[in-house]
Amino acid sequence: MNDILRVRVARVTREAEDILSYELVATEGGPLPPFEAGAHLEVRVPGPGDFLRAYSLCNDPEETHHYVIAVARDAKGRGGSNAMHERVHEGDVLEVKPPRNNFPLLFARSYVLVAGGIGITPILSMARVLQRTGADYTLHYCARAPGRTAFHELLSQAPFAEHVRFSFDGGDPARGLDVKGLLATRQPGARLYCCGPTGLMKAVRDAATLHRWPWEKVHFESFTAEGTSAATGREEQGFEVTIRSTGQVLQVPVGQSVLNVLRRNGVRIPSDCEAGTCGTCVTRVCDGQPDHRDTFFQAEPAGDQRMLVCVSRARSKRLVLDL
């Protein structure tokens, strides 16, 4: 791993049911590389799987002596979050890639922050900055129940309480936040930031479109590939993928990633984040036009010759992959 940073786990705290936070400090003491609200670390999760997993920083970027991340245990995942919960203890040393930010907090006259579940992590860092700088902001925090809400106590108290609105839906989104109602009015110069589960991000995107929020004022961060599609809102359609070496033709239906289809058909591709942020699953394209949906290639466009198969799809009916 290039640019490795070794950090010591100074404290592990239970933030809610199945959510632990980790305070990380430099092994030699002193300041850590700086970050801005919305940034994440990639953590080498200890264990046989050798997982690299992204975790958003939830502390105030002004605090240079530590990083704080919070991890929700995902029972349906491949084990990265479980290993963080089971194998990482106070005093351990972890390898991380320094902070990267695909979700920067841009200047605005006011802010609407919408967080769902563990999607609170980058949003909390933003709320801390906005609070410290006296900005006009409201944080709408959706979760199932108070006991499953990370940082519930912190956000229920001053100085945050007057800016935070909790929505507890008991697991039924229909009883949760009225997103359409929320976005029906927009203060001039407002920006909207949203991070949460796929359903919430889709509802926010649809409501923002309905109420004509300018697209450049609406910002999403997705923790999963499915969420990336919901956040971009681009038309989903099925397409065909051909494996160049074998000639095998596979169908990629709506709602499935190329990576998952390949995997299910026995084609192994290295992957890490599965959300288009780390670049690990980059694959050469011999023919066809990819539809890039990652955030990794933002600075340096990927063109038609390569794609990140965990999130990107096809503009053409068929792609030939150099596999």
Ligand X SMILES: Cc1cc2nc3c(=O)[nH]c(=O)nc-3n(C[C@H](O)[C@H](O)[C@H](O)COP(=O)(O)OP(=O)(O)OC[C@H]3O[C@@H](n4cnc5c(N)ncnc54)[C@H](O)[C@@H]3O)c2cc1C
Cβ 276 vs Cβ 293: under 8 Å: yes
Sketch the per residue contact string, 245 through 264, with ligand X: x for CB under 6 A, - otherwise. ---------------x----
As given in the structure block, the two tokens for residue 263 are 């995997």
Q: What is the C-alpha separation between 265 and 250, in angstroms, rounded?
A: 8
Tell me how far CA of residue 120 lies from CA of 126, 203, 226, 278, in angstroms.
Answer: 10, 17, 18, 21
**Min separation Cβ 278 and ligand FES, Å:** 3
Task: Decide whether 69 or 262 has the Cβ nearer to ligand FES.
Answer: 262
> C-beta of 69: minimal distance to ligand FES in Å?
18
Q: 235 burial class (0-12, 13-18, 19+ CB within 10 angstroms)? A: exposed
Distance CA 263, CA 252 (A): 12
Which positions from 177 through 236 interact with ligand X, judged by CB under 6 A?
Answer: 221, 223-224
- Return the closest-CA partner of residue 207 out of 186, 222, 228: 186
Which residue type does 17 have?
A: E
Select from 24, 46, 53, 130 the one that contacts ligand X (CB under 6 A).
53
In the window 72-91, what residues touch ligand X (CB under 6 A)? Answer: 72, 74, 76-82
C-beta closer to ligand FES: residue 115 or 308: 308
Tokens of 107: 């200047």
Place of tokens 């841009």: 106
The residue (of 294 and 320) whose beta carbon lies closer to ligand X is 294
Give the position of tokens 């229920």: 156
Q: Among ligand FES, ligand X, none, what does residue 24 contact (CB within 5–8 Å per kind)?
A: none
Contacting residues toward ligand FES, per CB under 6 A: 271-274, 276-281, 294, 296, 308, 310
Measured at CB, which residue is nearest to ligand X?
A: 77
Q: Quick one: tokens of 308?
A: 């990140």
Rounded to a whole number of angstroms, the minimum distance from the CB of residue 187 to ligand X is 28
* Contact of residue 53 among ligand FES, ligand X, none (CB under 5-8 Å per partner type): ligand X
Task: Determine, following the binding rule CB under 6 A, whether residue 47 of this chain makes contact with ligand X.
Answer: no
Restricting to residues 284-313, name those near ligand X by CB under 6 A: none
- CB nearer ligand X, residue 82 or residue 312: 82
Distance from the Cα of residue 166 to its chain's centroid: 21
